[in-house]
Structure formats: structure tokens, C-alpha cells
Amino acid sequence: MIINQFIHVTHGKIYSHIRMSHIAHITYVHKCTYIFLPFSNMIYNSNVPELITHSHSHSFLRIPVELYGIK
């Protein structure tokens, strides 16, 4: 299950807007995609920095759902 929400950070605060296909967390330096799996109650963060060279590094991080207040 993918949470349908768009999240961006401004001055350390998280604001949410409904979107169609994924949770995208955008900061000044990179974009992340979050996938929520209800059976594990975790948000999985797939971090893909956008670099000028177009080279990409990938990481995978589990984040507790409570951090974002998603139920």
C-alpha cells in the first residue's frame, strides 16, 4: 500500500497535500519517496539525491509512522 500524499518541509515544519501516487518528501537538496506498509507500521524511505552529474545513490531507511502522524 502506498500512502497518497505530498509532503514538503519549510522552516523545519512539515506540510501535507493530497497527491495521486506516492509520498514525496522534498528538501532543498534531494527528493525522497516514502512507502507505507500497514502490516509493519513503518514508512520506508527510498532516498534518491538528484545530482548535476545525473549519478544517483540509493538508500533505504525505515521510519516509524508516528513521526509523521500517519495512521
Residue ranges per structural domain of the chain: 5-67
Residue 35 has pLDDT above 50, yes or no: yes
pLDDT bucket at 27, cuts 50 / 70 / 90: very low
pLDDT band at 2 (very low <50, low <70, confident <90, very high): very low
C-beta of residue 54 within 8 angstroms of C-beta of residue 37: no
* Tens-digit pLDDT profile for residues 44-66: 555 444 443 333 444 444 544 44
- pTM (predicted TM-score): 0.20
A 10 A CB-CB count for 12 gives 5
CB 34 within 8 Å of CB 64: no
